Amino acid sequence: MLVIRPIEARDYEALYQCAVESGHGFTSLPVDEDLLHRRIERAEEAFSKTVLQQPGEEGYLFVMEDTAAGEIVGVSGIEGAVGLSNAFYHYHLGKVVHHSARHNVYNALQTLTLCNDYTGVSELCTLFLREPYRKGRNGRVLSKYRLLFMAQFRERFAKQVIAEMRGISDEDGRSPFWAWLEKHFFTMDFPSADYLTGIGEKTFIAELMPRFPIYVNMLDKAAQDVVGKVHQNTLPALKLLQSEGFRFRGYVDIFDAGPTVEAEVSQLRTIRNSRIVTVRIGQPEVSENVLICNTKLKDFRACQADVNLCGDDVVLTQQQADALLVTAGDPVRIAPL
C-alpha cells in the first residue's frame, strides 16, 4: 500500500537517492548532504510548530512510502510562505509600446522584468516520483494530497499558492535561456547557478542579474523559443495543476524561463470538493476511489482508497484504517480522485 506521511530523519538516504535521480533543473532537491539534512530538520520543526494567525517560512516535506516493501518511492512538499527572509525572484512578462503617430510606427514588444511579486504566497514544490512507480494514479496522489493537507490546515497557508514548473533544458542541464544570460551577464553555467539557488545561495542573483527590463526580441531565437515553456517530463504535472484551477499569469523562472502557475487556494478543485466524514470499519460493498487523509498534523497520513461512502460516514477496511492511523469514529477528509 502506498501511504504519504511527513518525512523523518530515518528517510535521509531515500531523500538523497531521490535528489540524485531527479537530475538537472530540479532546484528544490539538489544533491547536497547538508542541505538535505536541513530540509528534513526544517520539516520536522514545521510539523511540530503552532501556527495561529498567518503562515511563516515553514517547509512541509512528505514522502510516499510503499508499506509492503518498506521503500520510499516519492517526495513532495509545500512552503507556507516564500520570500519572507530571502528574496524570491521571478521574471514577469510584460509589454511596452513604441509608437510614433507622425511616422506611422507602432511596435508592441514583450519585456522580462525582474520582480518579487510572489513574496508571501504559499508554494507547492519538490514533487518527485521514482521511475518504477510512475504508473496508475500514483503521480496524481502524490500531487493532490497536498491540497487535502492545505484544506485541513488552512491557517498554515496563504490565500494564494504557486507552483514553479521546470523549464526546458537538455540532458546535460543546459538551458537555452540561461545560455543567453550567461553570455551577457554571468560567467556561470546553468547547473552551477541552479545548484546555488537550491542550497539558498541567492545573493549572486541581485548582484549580477540585469536590473532593467530585457526586451524578449533581443534574446537569440533558442532563448526566445523556451520562454514560458515547460520541460517535457513536467507536462503531466502542469496538466494536473491546470485541472485544479492553476493558471499561467506571465511569471517565469529566472534561470530556465519555465512557467510559474498560480491559484487562489479556496478555489482549487480538490479543496472545494473535499469534506470531513466519520470512519466506520467494515468491508466496503460499493467501492468509490477517493483521496483520503486523517486530520492529524505530526502524524498526518494520506492515500488513495476504494471505500464505501454512506452519507457522512466512510467505511474503511481495517488495513486502510491502520494505514491512516485512525479508528472507528475518527474524522477523515476525503476528495474525489
CA–CA dist 110, 216 (Å, integer):
6
Given this model, what pLDDT does residue 102 score? 83
pTM as predicted: 0.90
Output the nine-digit C-alpha cell for 31.
544533491
User: Do the Cβ atoms of 304 and 291 come closer than 8 Å?
Assistant: yes
Q: Which residue is catalytic, options 37, 90, 98, 231? A: 231
What are the mean pLDDT values of the chain's consecutive 10-residue runs (337 residues total)? 97 94 73 90 95 88 95 96 90 90 86 95 94 92 96 96 92 85 79 67 70 91 96 91 97 93 97 97 84 97 93 94 97 95
Rounded to an integer, what distance in angstroms lies between the CA atom of residue 192 and that of residue 287?
Answer: 50
Q: What is the pLDDT of residue 330?
A: 98
Burial environment of residue 6 by CB neighbours within 10 A (0 to 12, 13 to 18, 19 or more): buried
Alpha carbon dihedral 323, 327, 329, 334, in 10-degree steps, equals 0
Q: How far is CA 136 from CA 11, 53, 132, 305, 321, in A?
A: 24, 39, 11, 13, 22
Residue 231 a catalytic site member:
yes
Q: For residue 210, what pLDDT is reported?
A: 79
Q: What is the DSSP string of 162-183?
A: EEEPP----TT---HHHHHHHH
- Cell, residue 106: 507602432
Which pLDDT score is estimated for 198? 63
Give the chain's length.
337
CA pair distance 307, 301, nearest whole angstrom: 16
pLDDT value at residue 203: 65
Q: Within 10 A of 249 (CB to CB), how many other CB atoms are there? A: 14
pLDDT at 169: 87
Per-residue cell: 145: 494530497
Ordered DSSP codes for 271-284: HHH-EEEEEEES--
pLDDT of residue 285: 79
310, three cell numbers = 454512506
* pLDDT, position 202: 62
Distances from the Cα of 316 to the Cα of 58, 288, 291, 322, 326, angstroms: 32, 11, 13, 10, 10
Task: Tell me the C-alpha distance between 224 and 180, whole Å.
Answer: 10
- pLDDT score recorded for residue 51: 86
Which domains are present in the chain? 2-91+115-270 (3.40.630.30), 274-336 (2.40.40.20)
Which is nearest to 11 in space by CA: 73, 57, 60? 73
